[in-house]
Structure 1
Amino acid sequence: MIWDFNFNLPTSIEFGNGTVNNVGKRAKELGGNKVLIITDKGLAQTGILKRVTDSLEQEGVSFLVYDEITPNPKDVDCVKAYEKFKDENIDLLLGLGGGSSMDTAKAIGVLFTHEGELKDRYGFNLLERDITPLICIPTTSGTGSEVTTGSVITDTITKQKEAILDLKLAPKLAIVDPELTLTLPKSITAATGMDALTHAIEAYTSNIAEPISDALSLYAIEIIAKYLPLAVENGNDLEARQNMLVGSLIAGMAFTHADLGAVHAMAEPLGGLYDTPHGVANSIFLPHVFEYNIPSNPEKHATVAVKLGAKAEGKTVEEIAQEGVVLLHELASKIGIPKFRDLDNVDPEDFEFLAESAFKHLCTITNSRKLSKDDYLKLFQITYGMKMQHSS
């Protein structure tokens, strides 16, 4: 195969235990005189926020805190923060938390530096200039948003998740400290870890994957498959936490360059409609989409299966890939991911709408196998445990 590709990583990465204590120095180096910290109320009540603010205070950097971030961040929340702080002379943003905090910080940066509404920027390369300088500090091993060039925001009018995708959105610095993930509850560890695994698998099997993203994806799959059950079982296992954070980080680098596929095309409409946690939605659809995609590239799917722990000896490529499906189901079950049917507010009457939304999603274009709206409908039905039906 002959590739043509570009690989651009505009974010500097500082990884290690205790690196959060350097944030004050790094903020000053980036010219930060007044920092807006974007986080959630849960983190604001832990010692994690205090470690950040102590470091800023030590370096004489002033700061304000916006702690009203919710899962699946919404456009109205971004606007609310912008309106509250637009006259405060903020010159540095700091996203502290999971993907919701970091994506919201990016969107606030867009509002600080661009006229108009967020919806004017949904899509590829629609920013005219860099956003307000941004430091991201992840506290989950999931989204990789600390190194991605995208921000996913729920449009509260259409109930759809939308994406702003642009290099100008990239954080200037990612401070990646495994110690900050030690307090993460089992359920969030599981869901965010499966989100990272989905990123790695979809990036590897994407129809625009390239050699660097492949290398990153394969390593991420291998270490996430090994360490995610350990991190869920014992949240204080620092080795597991370190490896999960590396896996999440490099999976983020991989999908920034290779994009994603039908799992995200299905999961994001589900999150937009029902507010389902993103990692849970990905986990639910991942085995089913993986199985659907096998015919498009059996070799790559078999390679994923081996990284997940499948035994290859004496089997055909297709049989190895099918073992990957089994292993993905087993992993989700082992770490306590709920079934699609067990989610509280899912209504099969909505599957037509969800299938239409998935079909229109940007990730459909880069999925390894072509899908129609009807294919998506069948996948929603199969995942829910319904008999396959054809849409009218």
Structure 2
Amino acid sequence: MTLLHWHYPTEILVGENASSQLVSVCQTSSIQRPLFVIDSSLANTQAIQSILTACEEASLTTDIFDSFEGNPTGEQVESGNTAFLEGKHDGIIAIGGGSSLDIGKAIALVAQQKQSLWEFEDIGDNWKQADSTLIAPVIALPTTAGTGSEVGRASVITDTQSQCKRIIFHPKMLPTHVILDPTLTVDLPAHLTAATGLDALSHNLEAYCSPSYHPMAEAIAIEGMRLIKLYLPIAYTDGTNLQARTQMLIASSMGATAFQKGLGAMHALAHTLGARYNLHHGLLNAVLMPYVLCANRHYLHEKMQRLSHYLELEKEGFDGVLEWVLGLRKQLHVPHSLSELGINNQEQEVIASQALKDAAASGNPIHLSQEQYQAVFNFALNGKLDL
């Protein structure tokens, strides 16, 4: 398979066994002492061991940091900062799903700064407090096709004190190099292929639906959804299909590129529920997707008409898109309701309040009140669509 070399929005190397180029990329980035930030479940796999061996043979000094969860916390970022400083590292190589990439980028931003992590929350111009010369370069190798964090300028980190997720932002958090290697994703189980793939869909879909004017991002989003429609069912059924795995990695990066246009209520609720229940972010987005679509239905008629045509759906307009989403979820064996994930209604008012305050809420097609967020949550909890 021919390697593709892209520079949008950062330098991206795409193709089978592209990870074999990592040493060369480190040398290009002047990284001699990288800290590997890797999901603990991946650290001992043959693929990762081969990467580490290649780095050692090239006389790179490496350490591994893997002490973090699927929803990384502020305390875990602090532990990573300590590992970075004690090892005298000069760069981050983040390998894994969104958690690895997010915490890797957060460590790169904060480890050498005087300020604490939360001082760089994406509010106003907080990011300008950072000394940009102290931000370490990041090379990202995603092993899931979901978050697209490899092309993002932010990290989502859980604040355990307030039980909410906070978005940490700086333009230079964007990895300098991204390696999209489908061979790193073939061992992903089918249920995680589904959850991460629908996370990629949620990014493209919410970006497309956002009322912000950004035609470039909107164009990326609709093509990302077309790729997901074609290739997610294949990757789910046959995880060894490298073409499907490659196209899903591309669609995932497209989603995170597109959502600079905005996200919405889907992510506002998923962030809130993920922080409180420590559930998989992509799975939450997958469950919430049709309920949030219905909440925005009256705004979306024209956009759904165009989308249904572009995706060549059997039915036109909003109903066609909703029918496709529901059918895809069913095909991928995704739960229909939040209650199936072990969520109950005991904290519904708090959940609605936090979702309303979440940074993603501002990109929703219409402004939803706390009462409306609570209603959407209850529809999703009970598996009832508000048609």
Quickly name the TM-score band, shorter chain normalised: over 0.9
1:158 aligns with 2:157: no
Q: Distance in 2 between matches of 1:247 and 1:210?
A: 18
Contact conserved, 2:16 with 2:242, CA < 8 A, in 1? no
Q: Which moved more, 1:290-299 or 1:241-250?
A: 290-299
Match of 1:134 in 2: 138
The one-letter code matched in structure 2 to 1:198 is: S
Contact conserved, 2:63 with 2:87, CA < 8 A, in 1? no
Match of 2:236 in 1: 232
Residue pairs, 1:173-252, within 5 angstroms: 173-252=177-256
Quote how far apart the aligned CAs of 1:46 are: 1.1
Query: When the two structures are superposed, what TM-score results if normalisation uses the length of structure 1?
Result: 0.91
Match of 2:294 in 1: 291
The one-letter code matched in structure 1 to 2:274 is: G
What is the SS of the residue equivalent to 2:151? Answer: coil
Contact conserved, 2:65 with 2:83, CA < 8 A, in 1? no
Match of 1:260 in 2: 263
Q: Which moved more, 1:150-159 or 1:48-57?
A: 48-57
Runs of 5+ unmatched residues, structure 1: 1-7
Match of 1:310 in 2: 313
Aligned counterpart for 1:381 among listed residues 365, 378, 382: 378
Match of 1:121 in 2: 120
1:269 aligns with 2:268: no
Aligned counterpart for 2:147 among listed residues 143, 149, 155: 143
The one-letter code matched in structure 1 to 2:177 is: L
Q: Distance in 2 between matches of 1:137 and 1:95?
A: 6
Q: Distance in 2 between matches of 1:309 and 1:373?
A: 36
Contact conserved, 2:180 with 2:246, CA < 8 A, in 1? no
Task: Count residues with an aligned counterpart.
Answer: 375
The one-letter code matched in structure 2 to 1:148 is: G
The one-letter code matched in structure 2 to 1:20 is: S
Runs of 5+ unmatched residues, structure 2: 1-6
The one-letter code matched in structure 2 to 1:83 is: T
The one-letter code matched in structure 1 to 2:292 is: V
Aligned counterpart for 2:347 among listed residues 345, 350, 356: 350
Distance 1:245 1:42, change over 3 A: same
Aligned counterpart for 1:363 among listed residues 348, 360, 365: 360
Distance 1:386 1:245, change over 3 A: closer
The structure 1 segments of at least 4 consecutive aligned residues displaced by more than 6 Å after TM superposition are 386-389
What is the SS of the residue equivalent to 1:113? Answer: coil
Query: When the two structures are superposed, what TM-score results if normalisation uses the length of structure 2?
Result: 0.92
Quote how far apart the aligned CAs of 1:84 are: 3.1
1:171 aligns with 2:175: yes
Match of 2:87 in 1: 88
Distance 1:331 1:209, change over 3 A: farther
Quote how far apart the aligned CAs of 1:345 are: 3.4
Quote how far apart the aligned CAs of 1:386 are: 7.4
